[in-house]
């Protein structure tokens, strides 16, 4: 993996997982790739509005180095690239989907509360 941020305790499984997905935007990128199968750089850049171009490139690069995603370059003009999950990346699907499920549930409850407050 690119950077080891956590190692409180050799073998802590949660830390092992975090080594791969703890980057600022990694989980979100993986989520988009999981849903859309293939994404162009520009598309991700539009979707992740608050992620700068530089950050996006960095995160994608780390994900690629960690073997979670694969980059394909097409020598068209202008240049075009896209990204997709590797099999290793896809193995993280349960983690990402668990996050999605919890987030959906939270968003529902939260919007209900907001409506009640109006």
Partner DNA sequence: CAGAATCCCACTCGATACTG
Partner DNA sequence: CAGTATCGAGTGGGATTCTG
Footprint on this chain of a copy of itself (rule: CB under 8 A): 5-9, 11-18, 22, 24-25, 27-28, 31, 47-51, 91-92, 94-107, 110
Per-residue x/- track, 82-111, DNA (CB under 7 A): x-----------------------------
Q: Least distance to DNA from the beta carbon of 78, Å? A: 4
Return d(Cα 84, Cα 54) in angstroms, integer.
19
Q: Which two tokens stand for residue 47?
A: 């979707």
**Three-class SS state of 89:** helix
61 makes contact with DNA (CB under 7 A): yes
Q: Least distance to DNA from the beta carbon of 98, Å? A: 23
Q: Least distance to DNA from the beta carbon of 111, Å? A: 26
Q: Which two tokens stand for residue 40?
A: 């162009």
- Residue entry with tokens 């994900």: 63
Phi first, then psi: give them for residue 25, nearest 5 degrees.
Answer: -120, 5
**Three-class SS state of 111:** helix
């Amino acid at each position: 993996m690119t950077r080891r941020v956590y190692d409180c305790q050799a073998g802590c499984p949660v830390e092992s997982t975090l080594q791969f997905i703890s980057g600022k935007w990694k989980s979100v990128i993986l989520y988009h790739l999981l849903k859309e199968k293939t994404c162009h750089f520009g598309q991700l850049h539009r979707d992740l509005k608050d992620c700068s171009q530089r950050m996006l490139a960095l995160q994608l690069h780390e994900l690629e180095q960690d073997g979670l995603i694969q980059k394909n370059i097409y020598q068209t003009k202008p240049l075009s690239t896209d990204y997709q999950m590797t099999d290793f990346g896809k193995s993280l699907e349960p983690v990402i989907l668990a996050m999605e499920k919890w987030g959906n549930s939270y968003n529902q409850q939260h919007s209900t509360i907001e409506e009640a407050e109006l």
